[in-house]
Chains A and B, each alone.
Chain A
Amino acid sequence: MAGIDYAIIALFMAFLFWAGSVFYRWVGDPDDFYLAGRQLTPFILAATITATNVNLYSFVGQAGVAYEHGISIIWQTWTGNMALVFAGLFVIPILRRLRVRTIPEFLEMRYNSVVRYMVGFLWIFRLSFWLGVVLYTAVIAAQTITGFESFTFWVILFSIITIIYTMLGGMWSVALTDSLQFVFMLAGALIVLPLVMSAVGWWPGLVEKLPALHLELVPKTGDYNWKFVLAIWIIGIQWACVDQGLLQRAFGGVNTKAVAKGLVLAGIVTTPFALLWNIPGLAAQVIKPGLENADQAIPYILSTYLPPVVLGFVFCGLLAAQMSTISSNLNAVATMFTNDIYGRIFNRQASKQDILKTARIMTIFTGIFMMGFTYLVPVLGGAVDAYLTIVSIMDMPLFVVAIFYGLLWKRTTWQGAVAGYLAGALAGGLARFGAGLDNNTSTFFSAGAALLICPIVTWITSGVNSEKVGKIWAMKSASEEEKGLSVVYNIIPQSIGGRIFLFTLFGGLALFLTGIFISAMDWPHAGYYCVAGMVIYFLSGLARLKFD
């Protein structure tokens, strides 16, 4: 990197701190800090949600897997996008109507405070670990691009910057860095793509020089095969429905319809974008095969192909990407702690100012946890593996008890929810670390155990509060307030047009799943069925929003 690049980065950081200090004045109460005052409009919302889905993890971790194993890792983003559309149309509008801030808060509404505290405590650690994964990717990128290889130096530098920035502006800071990140990263990717493609002899050159399996969209064999696509689709749905960092952005939406629109838009926009970091990952395999750490593939490409000044801006994009993801998750942990634990257990009389102060202190503590967890990531096999491990163990059972049974089965009791969650997490942990199974299989174990144990315990226990459950079920339809403001959104549309598009949406989903299963049978071009199904699904989701 040249001196001019460092100057650009310094200016960018100064701008962010200035923006953070402006936002500090905007933050008057906890809702401002947690949810940007619930004022985010559809496009800002879509930009911030897209930034959750596209971050440094994508450019470093995912592109690294594309480098090593091939294009099928792209399904991590694509199925995540499909999940965003699903969550936006069917799940998150209900949670937004309940005006909750966190999933544990919803769990108390649906079950009771025991479930809320248990999940709240566990998720503070789960999110801190995810923060460690994101910080790790930033450190790898910075080491490779600058050539300065001290791991600890970058861990400390990035942590200090993001902790201060988040402490100042809360969710407003997150929204700004999200929007900036997206622009910088997309611009950087648009510069890099033609440069690397010309270096490998454009598309025909890439196809000719890569191993054949690298271009299989849904391969039958390999680590990222059809089972991976199926597992990551299931994981994606639970991610889009229960991930606190994502939900918090969605809850910041100005109304239910804006939330649905923002999520659908975010899912669709990110889909072509995913090619812009996965293809350079593939190209890196041709340009520089045999890298010791595959996570270095894109940082290597950037430092080799980008001229000064452009490199500085792209580095700012990487920095913004890392900051936005870390900021949102630091913010999420602070929200969970103050909302679900501090305000409920330690200080029930806490004033708004007490809560704000505690949220800011918690941001610092979480940042310290994050730094510690960063050192664990290489032990777990790099960014992607570490992330999939925690998701398969911790997230899957939560989705089963909170969303699947919580929103679909009125009879589910709190004892069933607790038992289902613990059984799922335990089964996932034992499958991954006890039996040494891969993440895909561990996901099926954790989901299966939660799906099985929750209803069994529910049948032998009692204690459903039908008033509570009735209140949640009522949120599936538009409220009187929404009707008055003409922002009506029904989960199941009332119009024929809306229902037709809902039907085609599920048709697209069926085609996508068919593509996965015929891949297992070695059917030629099965991956294209998956892509066609996905496109039908997206277009139907978008069209459904036009009708109600």
Chain B
Amino acid sequence: MYFDWVTWSIWLVGFIILIVWIFVPLKEFKQLIQQKRNEKN
């Protein structure tokens, strides 16, 4: 079976960015929400 290194290398880089981009901003948004709640109280 043919394995296309070009396509899958690009795909892998994109996939790593996606994973990082889901978890890090989520963590930072959670902290901001917590901060806003604390400000309210």
Contact = CB atoms under 8 A, between A and B. Distances in A.
B13 A272 contact: yes
A43 B24 contact: yes
Interface of A: 26, 39, 41, 43-44, 47, 176, 179, 182-183, 186-187, 189-190, 193-194, 197, 202-204, 269, 272-273, 275-276, 279
Contacts of B8: 194
Interface string B7-41: 11011011101100110110011011001100000
Contacts of A194: 7-8, 11
B21 to A, nearest CB: 6
B25 A275 contact: no
A204 B2 CA distance: 11
Given A183-B22, A189-B14, A190-B11, A197 B4 contact: yes
Contacts of A26: 36
Given A26-B36, A179-B29, A182-B21, A193 B4 contact: no
Nearest to A203: B6
A214 to B, nearest CB: 15
Given A197-B7, A202-B7, A43 B25 contact: yes
B18 to A, nearest CB: 5
Given A203-B6, A272-B17, 14 more contacts: A26-B36, A41-B31, A44-B28, A44-B32, A183-B22, A186-B14, A190-B18, A193-B10, A202-B4, A203-B7, A269-B17, A272-B10, A273-B14, A275-B10
A39 B32 contact: yes
A26 B39 CA distance: 10
Nearest to B18: A186
B14, B25, B32, B35: which has the most chain A beta carbons within 10 Å? B25
Contacts of A203: 4-7
Interface residues of B, number: 23
Interface of B: 2, 4-8, 10-11, 13-15, 17-18, 21-22, 24-25, 28-29, 31-32, 35-36
B18 A187 contact: yes
Contacts of A202: 2, 4, 6-7
Contacts of B36: 26
Contact of B17 (A39, A179, A186, A193): A186
Contacts of A47: 21, 25
Question: Which 3 pairs of residues, A with B, have the shortest CB-CB distance?
Answer: A202-B4, A203-B6, A43-B24
B17 to A, nearest CB: 6
A273 B21 CA distance: 12
A307 B4 CA distance: 23
A179 B4 CA distance: 31
Contacts of B10: 193, 272, 275-276, 279
A47 B28 CA distance: 11
Contacts of B13: 272
Contacts of B22: 183
A44 B24 CA distance: 8
Contacts of A41: 28, 31-32
30 contacts: A26-B36, A39-B32, A39-B35, A41-B31, A41-B32, A43-B25, A44-B29, A44-B32, A47-B25, A179-B21, A179-B29, A182-B21, A183-B22, A186-B17, A186-B18, A190-B15, A190-B18, A193-B11, A193-B14, A194-B7, A194-B8, A197-B4, A197-B7, A202-B6, A203-B5, A273-B14, A273-B17, A275-B10, A279-B7, A279-B10
A190 B14 contact: yes
A26 B37 CA distance: 10
A87 B33 CA distance: 29
A527 to B, nearest CB: 16
Nearest to A26: B36
B24 A272 contact: no
A21 to B, nearest CB: 14
Nearest to A187: B18
A275 B36 CA distance: 38
Contacts of A186: 14, 17-18, 21
Given A39-B32, A197-B7, A183 B18 contact: yes
